[in-house]
Amino acid sequence: MKDTSRARIMMVVGLVVVAAADRSAAAEPSAEERGLAIATEADRRESGYGDSTASLHMVLRNKQGQTSERELRIRTLETENDGTKSLCIFDTPADVKGTILLTHTHKEAEDDQWLFLPALRRIRRIAAQNKSGSFMGSEFSYEDIAAQELAKYTYRWLRDEAYDGNDCYVIERTPVDKANSGYSRQVAWLDKAHYRTWKVEYYDRKNERLKTLTFKGYRQYVDRFWRARQMDMVNHQTGKSTTLTWSDFTFGTGLKEIDFDRHSLTLLR
């Protein structure tokens, strides 16, 4: 009888342990759920700035280390319920002066991009299949220049690890529209303290590492929004790189949607 009672007790204990383990497993978010939660929080913290302007110094380096430089002005506007609009206006050198890239990102629909070429006095639409191409000779593509809207990727948490002195989440994001993306996936490092991105690795359509983007010199504006002073994009397959140095960030400048109308590109200065 004692052996039978002991067996019954052990069976009950075993069932309780299994049930507890099942509950624990059910409560633990999946890697996909965790990745989405991290990306969602980062997106939330970036939202609500309204509009902003900035100056940008671009340095292009070839494999031999030779450089060329460009100066741009950047204008950005959040639109109600549908992504952002941005303008990249080139001021120097003379051969690209007046060139303008207009981008309308959408939360789910395909993004719209137009390039105004002053020498031709014409506006050229960037086709979806061409958005993986180089933006004005840099290591940034037209796809990179567009805001990375949350719903256009699926996410997966990979691990937690330190990067450049920051305790970070490492997440993978995969484009939903694989046919029109130059990347099979991206791996991003976001710090746990403020959800700032410190590093992104880009993998080409063959899933080989193509480029790495790193961020430096973060500064907080209007007590909320973090912006990096420097971004470095290195192309591992060509040996080329591009450095972006940002300055003169201003928020709440009063920009309106009409300021981002493609029909007005020829009038912008």
Over the stretch 123-134, which tens digit does the pLDDT of each residue have? Answer: 999 998 899 999
Full set of structural domains in the chain with CATH: 40-267 (2.50.20.10)
* Residue 267 pLDDT: 83
Q: How far apart are CA 102 and CA 140, in angstroms?
A: 15
Q: How many CB atoms lie within 10 A of CB 25?
A: 8
- Tell whether the model's pLDDT for residue 11 goes beyond 70: no
- Using an 8 Å Cβ cutoff, are 162 and 171 in contact? no
> What pLDDT band is residue 80 in, cutting at 50, 70 and 90?
confident
DSSP class per residue in 151-162: GGEEEEEEEEEE
Rounded to two decimals, what is the model's pTM?
A: 0.88
Average pLDDT, the chain: 91
CA angle 8, 13, 14 (to 5 degrees): 95
